Amino acid sequence: MATTRKFNTTVKIGGKTYAPGEDVPVSKNGLSEADADNLESVFGKWRKEGDTAVDKRITALTEERDALANRVATLTKERDALASKTDGGEDVADLTEELEAITEERDQLAEDNATLADELKKLQASTTDDTSDEGYSAKDKT
Model pLDDT for residues 39-83, shown as the tens digit of each residue: 888 888 887 766 677 778 888 888 999 999 999 999 999 988 887
83 in helix, strand or coil?
helix
Question: What type of residue is 65?
Answer: R
- Separation of alpha carbons 17 and 21, rounded Å: 12
- What pLDDT sits at residue 115? 93
- 20 has pLDDT over 70: yes
Of 35-39, 79-83, 100-104, the range with the highest mean pLDDT is 100-104
Average pLDDT over residues 6-16: 87
23 in helix, strand or coil?
coil
pLDDT-above-90 percentage for the chain = 27
Average pLDDT, the chain: 82
- What pLDDT sits at residue 140? 55
- What pLDDT sits at residue 137? 54
- What pLDDT sits at residue 29? 78
- Separation of alpha carbons 132 and 83, rounded Å: 68
- What pLDDT sits at residue 74? 94
Residue predicted with more confidence, 107 or 96: 107
Q: How far does the chain reach from its first CA to its final CA, in angstroms?
A: 124
- 138 has pLDDT over 70: no
pTM of the model: 0.34
Q: How confident is the model at residue 132 (pLDDT cuts 50, 70, 90)?
A: low
Q: Is 4 exposed, middle or buried (0-12, 13-18, 19+ CB in 10 A)?
A: middle
Which helix H or strand E contains 88, and what residues bound it? none
